[in-house]
Copies of this chain bind each other. A is one copy, B any other.
């Protein structure tokens, strides 16, 4: 009975950590959406909010890492349970990096609008990749919440689509820059925004891989499943 009690305690504590991770996920999702709105319509207050939220995200990272360590020391989990905690620790790192990328987008957007340099076209160029990445992030958090390995597996292929979109945006921007060198500076800002979005897609893919690690019990990082054909193309300007 003591063992059962202790295991129930463990489950409760783990669930509390997982809830907080999902809270953190919700914050970075909102950061990303706000940052994109900022890039679209220019709203420096909203950009400031994205940057402020980043402090909350950073603090959550530190306190959640700490909670995971405490859980391990106090409850001494078996291999199976430890796998969940390990994956959670990795997910936390990815969420924090997503917050960083959203903050970068907000900074670029604020600076760009501050200079009055934005045209609607720049937002239009990244609208598709932003929507796809936002969906992917949402689904990855959903798969994490529900421990849904099947959904997670579908997401991994999605990342190749986002990488492909990124390269296509880069080619378009190069064309613009060549046609009118005065647009180079603003085009590069758009390129950094696209790059940050593409990174958010990478992190969402990582989260999906950790969900699979927990559910299936196998580490699929760096296997064929995780290295779609498109990823092998060099990241370069043509």
Q: Which residues of B contact A186 (CB under 8 A)?
A: 237
In the assembled complex, the CB of A57 is this many whole angstroms from the nearest CB of chain B, namely 9
Contact partner of A234 among B65, B110, B178, CB < 8 A?
B110
Give A236 to B192 CA distance when docked, in angstroms: 8
Is the pair B82, A221 in contact by a Cβ cutoff of 8 Å? no
Do B72 and A82 touch across chains, with their CB atoms under 8 A apart? Answer: yes
- CB A92 to nearest CB in B, in angstroms, measures 10
Mark out the residues of chain A between 207 and 238 whose CB falls within 8 Å of any chain B CB in the assembled complex: 219, 221-222, 234-238
Q: How far is the CA of A66 from the CA of B65 in the complex (A)?
A: 19
Does A22 lie at the interface of the complex (its beta carbon under 8 Å from any beta carbon of B)?
Answer: no
Interface residues on A, range: 35 or more
A64, chain B: closest CB distance, angstroms:
11
Q: Is A34 an interface residue (CB 8 A)?
A: no
CA distance A79 to B73 in the complex (A): 6
B89–A82 touching, CB < 8 Å = no
Residues of B within 8 Å of A192, CB to CB, are 235-237
Q: Is the CB of B235 within 8 A of A108?
A: yes
> In the bound complex, do residue A69 and residue B86 qualify as a contact, i.e. CB atoms below 8 Å apart?
yes
- Residues of A98-145 at the interface with B, using a CB-CB cut-off of 8 Å, are 104, 107-108, 110-112
Given A93-B90, A236-B107, A73 contacting B82 (CB threshold 8 A) = yes
Within 8 A of B (CB), among A57-97: 58-59, 61-62, 65-66, 69-70, 72-73, 76-79, 82-83, 86, 89-90, 93
A interface residue numbers (CB < 8 A to B): 55, 58-59, 61-62, 65-66, 69-70, 72-73, 76-79, 82-83, 86, 89-90, 93, 104, 107-108, 110-112, 170, 174, 177-178, 181-182, 184-186, 188-189, 192, 195, 219, 221-222, 234-238
26 A–B pairs (Cβ distance < 8 Å), ordered by A: A61-B222, A62-B219, A62-B222, A65-B86, A65-B219, A69-B86, A70-B79, A72-B72, A72-B82, A73-B77, A73-B78, A73-B82, A93-B93, A104-B235, A107-B234, A111-B236, A174-B184, A177-B177, A177-B184, A178-B184, A184-B184, A184-B237, A185-B237, A185-B238, A189-B236, A189-B237
